[in-house]
Amino acid sequence: MIPVGDSVHSRTFPIVNVTIIGLNILIFLYELTLSTTPLRPSGFSELDVFFFRWGAIPACLGDHFGFHPDVSQRELTFYCTNNRAVASVFYSMFLHGGWLHLFGNMIFLWVFGDNVEDAMGHLRYALFYLIVGLAATATQVFINQNDFTPAIGASGAIAGVLGAYLVLYPRARVTALIPFIFFIPFFLPAVVLIGVWFAMQLISGVAALTTTDVNAGGGIAFFAHIGGFAAGVMLVKVFVVGRTVPPSGYHRYLRH
């Protein structure tokens, strides 16, 4: 399901949300200038090198913080020498692996982020976004401590935004499209759409843990989604303290 609108009216212009979306798009446009042709002798392209430098690599982060992943020193040297460790936790939130990856993340952020920013206020929302993104990365690192695959994408932080939206506006009505069904719009309560989304992440994450197939997850960091979502649910009430939040059933108009 692809959300395209919701019924909660944002009372303020979501400057932080729009800025985050803009940064993601600008950085992706920069990625498009990088060569994808493998270079000898490493076999990595310019884009690969960029991701390995700025992506959040679980084994590298674990080694940096003293968790001693069960990998060889040779692997650590090869993959982690140029990785920006701590900085990568934040930079990785703005990297994407393709147009669909970018579009899927940004449409969710566009639909749900403005209302969460409106409820929290601009500065609180900016801080919230970074914190839930950090929680998402920490969860993925904890689960895949020996993995050298760079984790990239805004989806962990966006999962935190979804968790916050679910707490604040569970009865809001969301307009969603289901691909391959002639793109007929469906109107669903937020608790249903977001609840189904989270259930899928949880099921897929558990399934990935029960197999030795490294490609079982399809390259998706399910536990980053789970960790970010959980952080959003737990922290949202802290970030709206002292703020006036529209009631859950507030449906001034439906945005498309």
Does position 135 have pLDDT exceeding 80, yes or no? yes
Domains (range + CATH), the chain: 2-239 (1.20.1540.10)
Which residue has better confidence, 51 or 251?
51
What does the pLDDT average to over 174-190? 82
**What is the C-alpha separation between 47 and 43, in angstroms, rounded?**
11
| Closest alpha carbon to 187 in 89, 107, 254, 101 | 254
Q: Which of 21-35, 44-58, 77-91, 180-194 has the lowest mean pLDDT?
A: 180-194
Average pLDDT, the chain: 90
DSSP letter string, 132-199 = HHHHHHHHHHHHTTT--SPB--SHHHHHHHHHHHHHH-TT-EEEEE-TTTTT-EEEEEHHHHHHHHHH
pTM as predicted:
0.91
212 band by pLDDT with thresholds 50, 70 and 90: low
40 band by pLDDT with thresholds 50, 70 and 90: confident
Which positions ≥6 away from 229 have C-beta within 8 Å? 159, 160, 162, 163, 198, 201
Which residue has better confidence, 40 or 7?
7
151 band by pLDDT with thresholds 50, 70 and 90: very high
